[in-house]
Amino acid sequence: MHNNIFIAGSGIWYPKARVSNEELVNSYNQYVENFNNNNRESIEDGSVEAMEFSSAEFIEKASNIKSRYFIDKEGSLDINRMKPRVNNEHPDRLSMHAKVGIKAAKKAMKQANVSPSQIDAVIVGTSHAPRNYPALAIEIQNEMGIKGYAYDMLVGCSSTTFAINNAYSDIASGLAETILVINPEINTPHVNFTQRDKHFIFGDGCAACVVQKNSNSNNAYKIIDRKLHTQFSNNIRSNFGYLNRAAIDVKTNEELLFHQNGRGVFKDVCPLVASLISNQLEKNNILPHEVAKFWLHQANGKMIRLITSKILGTDDFDESITPMPIINFGNLASVGSLFAFNLDNDLEPGQKGVICSFGAGYSVCSIIVEKL
């Protein structure tokens, strides 16, 4: 690539409240016991299906997740509520997404050694937007005193890398020289904590990075190549939207929440992502074993290992090349790959890594970077 465009710095934010598998299971199993007791007769006559208990061992075996962080632990674990407590947005107050976005953004700007006056644009990419308009990016732009332009974008769990790609394109086209990319993922309000196969998946968090032309930051990574791919699938879907209030076929909130066909996603996405990254590396004359880190979407530990093994052509590899913050943070939707990058990117100058997000859509975006 002829453009000298860099990820000049990154930052992350996550809530203070850590939730272990044991705490999550204790709450869920109490809910299940109450449900089964309250519906005993219907369960016995077959008109209602009994709920199945869970365990910490089941969660870790299925996902590698040991804990996650919630914006509201108490509400999410309350067996009479089973969802976080949040306030409706108020036009006179800074939104929750903007607050956490700014916290991550300030860390990224400090690492990149840039001030608000040096930023030309703000791009917010997320899989869970708090509203349709006004754009969250413009709210943050206003609060931080940034000039230029700002916009939001949604591509499911690929939103972070797609946003970095857009920042690169805007800079390459001459629209801007320094762009702040922010990715708030407040996931727990969209989680059904009463479903055994879904209640443990997500945590809350936010990441941000500064994409810049000709960076002199000590933490800069040059963007070598970008590759994007999408193909339609309903295997990961959310049906929440403004049409719900007008729908004549009324659905419950539970029916509108995050839905996933996990087996279908695993079967479809693992070979897709492995092939895309392998072809990208080949195009750039980079051998798989020359990649120092694979910072992949933190969907599932098994997926991360399988994709990496397919790229390397072996199951026998040092797992330190594939950082897995999913163990402590859970699935963070689109920011998982940038959490992995931020927490484990101590590469030597000239070493290369791959940042890759994938998810709903299906969508995949892979970015090859080189330490400055």
CATH of the domain at 263: 3.40.47.10
- How does the average pLDDT of the chain come out, rounded? 95
Residue 321 is encoded by which pair of tokens? 């090349």
pLDDT of 2 above 70: no
Q: Answer yes or no: are the C-beta atoms of 363 and 233 closer than 8 Å.
A: no
**For the chain, what is the domain count?**
1
Reply yes or no on whether the pLDDT at 286 is more than 80.
Answer: yes
Q: Establish if 29 belongs to a structural domain.
A: no
| 134 cis-preceded (ω within 30 degrees of 0) | yes
The band of 251, judged by pLDDT with boundaries at 50, 70 and 90, is confident
Mean pLDDT of 312-340: 96
Q: Of the candidates 367, 216, 218, which has an alpha carbon nearest to the alpha carbon of residue 294?
A: 367
How much is the pLDDT for 1? 44
As given in the structure block, the two tokens for residue 366 are: 């892979």
- The residues carrying an active-site annotation are 157
Domain for residue 354, yes or no?
yes
Quote the domain boundaries for residue 303: 222-371
User: Which range, of 19-28, 199-208, 234-243, 294-303, averages the lowest pLDDT?
Assistant: 234-243
CB 50 within 8 A of CB 43: yes
Residue 74 lies in a domain: no
Question: Distances in Å between the alpha carbon of 50 and those of 39, 108, 258, 315?
Answer: 8, 48, 22, 40
**pLDDT at res. 310:** 97
Residues 6+ apart with CB under 8 A from 182: 101, 104, 105, 122, 123, 124, 125, 137, 140, 206, 207, 208
Kindly state whether residue 100 falls inside one of the protein's structural domains.
no
Confidence of residue 216 (pLDDT cuts 50, 70, 90): confident
Confidence of residue 27 (pLDDT cuts 50, 70, 90): very high
On whether residue 24 sits in a domain, the answer given is no
Within-domain flag for 208: no
Query: Does the residue 125 lie in any domain?
Result: no
Whether residue 103 has pLDDT greater than 80: yes
d(CA 255, CA 238): 9
Range from 63-72, 114-123, 238-247 carrying the lowest mean pLDDT: 238-247
Tokens of 130: 């708090």
- Give residue 245's pLDDT band: very low, low, confident or very high (50, 70, 90): confident
Q: Do the Cβ atoms of 9 and 221 come closer than 8 Å?
A: no
* pLDDT confidence of residue 29: 98
- Look at 72-86, 175-189, 252-266 and tell me which has the smallest mean pLDDT: 252-266
Is 326 inside a domain boundary? Answer: yes
Between CA 149 and CA 361 the distance in angstroms is 27
